[in-house]
Amino acid sequence: MSFSANLGFLWTDRPLPDAIRAAHEAGFDAVECHWPYDVPPAQVAAALNETGLPMLGLNTLRGAPGENGLAALPGREAEARAAIDQAVGYAAEIGAQAVHVMAGIAEGDAARATFLENLRYACDQTSDTGLTFLIEPLNAADEPGYFLRTTDQARAILDDLALPNVRLMFDCYHVARTEGDVPARLEALHGYLGHIQIAAVPDRGPPDHGELDYREVFARIAALGWTRPIGAEYHAAAPTDDTLGWLRAARRRQDP
């Protein structure tokens, strides 16, 4: 099993290129990030080339404070598509594999229709690039009012789109907070998965404590035949290097 460091949460005390180098030194197999746009892409690409780590993905912009995305906001299509274009362009320059299209604070049929049309727009712009677009349900306790709330809602959207390069970002933390029984939800949705992320429940710390037993989760993921890196997206209350006992333990369990 392989793991990706989400540099939106880990090594945030360092510039992004140095965080990539730190993830490599710590033994991660890949990296991902949130909003890298203030960093020249050439610097990020250089760090990726130096370490050999793939960049799994990045996010579209959140918009104004409190919006948490633009893609499901009726009347904001021009801004949402500019954010998609920005993310796609940056991803191309650094070789990122996916873009998480953030929906924003919205509800109702108009929001759903807007989200679908913006996702179709994204796919139309990148039909020959191999780029994947991800959608992610966020739990209501952490992200009240976010348009995409459950995996069933996300699955219905993916079914309506029927586009092979739009997939589900399954964050075990958010799913556990909203729906529970993460192993069962993984199994039910494995045909929709584009990326999997992990963190402890309920405190979103390192995945080595709390209500969700990640030994069981990892076993279920392995049984599904998942081979891509799993994203570590957790809050590090201590320096990141001091929170990686879970990673070393996972490596030991894999050793013959």
Q: Which domain holds residue 204?
A: 3-254
From the candidates 32, 50, 107, 233, which is the catalytic residue?
233
Biggest CA–CA distance in the chain, Å, is 56
136 classed as catalytic: yes
65, 172, 194, 241 from 228: Cα distances, Å: 33, 15, 9, 23
CA distance 27 to 209: 21
* Of 124, 106, 128, 117, residue with least CA distance to 160: 117
* Of 9, 127, 116, 117, residue with least CA distance to 59: 9
CA distance 218 to 183: 9
Domain with residue 83: its CATH number is 3.20.20.150
pLDDT tens-place values along the chain, 256 residues long: 999 999 999 999 999 999 999 999 999 999 999 999 999 999 999 999 999 999 999 999 999 999 999 999 999 999 999 999 999 999 999 999 999 999 999 999 999 999 999 999 999 988 778 899 999 999 999 999 999 999 999 999 999 999 999 999 999 999 999 999 999 999 999 999 999 999 999 999 999 999 999 999 999 999 999 999 999 999 999 999 999 999 999 988 776 5
Phi and psi at residue 100, in whole multiples of 5°? -85, 115
pLDDT at 67: 95
Regarding pTM above 0.85, the answer is yes
From the candidates 136, 179, 211, 216, which is the catalytic residue?
136
Please name the residues in contact with 252: beta carbons below 8 A apart, sequence gap of 6 or more.
none
In the chain, the number of structural domains is 1
pLDDT at 255: 62
Q: Within 13 A of 138's CA, how many CA atoms are on the CB side?
A: 18
**Do 250 and 3 touch, CB atoms closer than 8 A?**
yes
67 classed as catalytic: no
